[in-house]
Amino acid sequence: MLGLMNQQILLASRPRGVATLENFRLVETSVPTPAAGQVLVRHRWLSIDPYMRGRMSAAKSYAAPQPLDAVMIGQTAGVVVESRCSRWKVGDEVVGMGGWQQYAVVDGEDRQGLRKVDTSRVPLSAFLGAVGMPGVTAWYGLNKIIEVKPGQTVLVGAAAGAVGSVVGQLARVRGARAVGIAGGPEKCAWVTETLGFEACIDHRDHADVRSLAAALKLACPDGIDGNFENVGGKVLDAALTVMNPFGRVALCGMIAGYEGEAIPLTLARLILQSRLRIEGFIVTEHPEVWPEALRELADLIVDGRLRYRESIAVGLAQAPTALLGMLTGANFGKQLVSLE
């Protein structure tokens, strides 16, 4: 791709408290040339996900921190525009971890680093959302940790987000009752009227654990059997008060603490009192479930039983703003950046 330039966004500094636009830097460099065995991918979509905030910090976590002065990590969807690997041809549509840049060179033999997708059934962007990592995250937590059964009640935090919106719909497919928590009346209305959740509580209407717990008890008169936890803080505390004995919590995210603040668990005694099972998980550590999960998720979209929504920022330069907005709940559904 002689003469073409590749825009990239680097992590310029680590946040101290709340992340800001000053933590990022936009640069321009030449489009790389693939060597033997490599392919060049032109990105069409960037995925913006909550885990990125954690990787910006140097604190110990389940994955290494994002290096400074390096391209921001992130999943991407795009098309092969040059190939020097027999496994790939120009025009193949792919999903990978190309990061916040317009082009990336990828090892064509790395089967974990690049995956071909079929866009004849669902759009390319969906492979970063409902038929991608968020969808498989929902599938795994619901089926393998919560182990949902017909007639049970499943609570879903961040129910209007990329993961939560899929959890509730899958729960309903399994014959369970889905109750969501979201921020704002518009999101709550979408969760119930479009996605079919039985109820959705606006957490902005409840300033403390007691108030939120009271609302949960009204929405879940038979208690909560499974809690798909995306938020933590007062949301988790309130949910614990309504959990049925031997209930299960799939701990997926802790949005309440992504800026580095402590998130106390004030009602931990209920874990013992109700003999609850709480399990945190990272879906990339469970590759064995991906094929089955992706097949079901795609089939449900084609059948019209799984709906999704996307918030789209246009242009690479908008990626930092999109991430900061998502961390404060500005997104509706899956947050993407379009590079078309």
CB 334 within 8 A of CB 120: no
Q: Which amino acid is at 334?
A: K
Class of CATH domain 5-129+308-338: alpha beta
φ/ψ of 96, rounded to 5, equals -155, -165
Tokens describing residue 112? 């974990």
Q: What pLDDT, on a 0 to 100 scale, did the predictor assign at position 260?
A: 67
pLDDT value at residue 1: 56
Phi, psi dihedrals of residue 51, rounded to the nearest 5°: -60, -20
Confidence of residue 3 (pLDDT cuts 50, 70, 90): low
The pLDDT tens digits for 254-312 are 887 766 677 888 899 999 999 999 999 999 999 999 999 999 999 999 999 999 999 99
Per CATH, domain 133-284 is 3.30.930.10: no
The structure tokens 């559904």 sit at 333
How many Cβ atoms sit within 10 Å of the Cβ of residue 277?
Answer: 15
The domain ranges of the chain are: 5-129+308-338, 133-284
Q: What is the Cα 127 distance to its own chain's centre? A: 12
User: What's the per-residue H, E or C state across 93-112?
Assistant: EEEECCCCECEEEEECCCCC
Half-sphere exposure of 194 (CA within 13 A, CB side): 15
Mean pLDDT of the chain: 94
**Would you state the pLDDT for residue 4?**
86
What is the Cα–Cα distance from 167 to 176, expressed in whole angstroms?
11
Which residues, 6+ apart, have CB-to-CB distance to 142 below 8 Å? 148, 154, 167, 170, 171, 174, 226, 228, 250
Q: What pLDDT, on a 0 to 100 scale, did the predictor assign at position 62?
A: 75
Give the residue-averaged pLDDT of 13-41.
95
27, 61 in Cβ contact below 8 A? no
3-state secondary structure of 284: helix
Q: How many CB atoms lie within 10 A of CB 237?
A: 21
Alpha-carbon gap, residue 66 to 323, rounded angstroms = 15
> Distance (Å, rounded) from C-alpha 37 to C-alpha 84?
5
**Helix 290-302 with 133-140: angle, nearest 10 deg:** 110
pLDDT per residue as tens digits for the range 115-158: 999 999 999 999 999 999 999 999 999 999 999 999 999 999 99
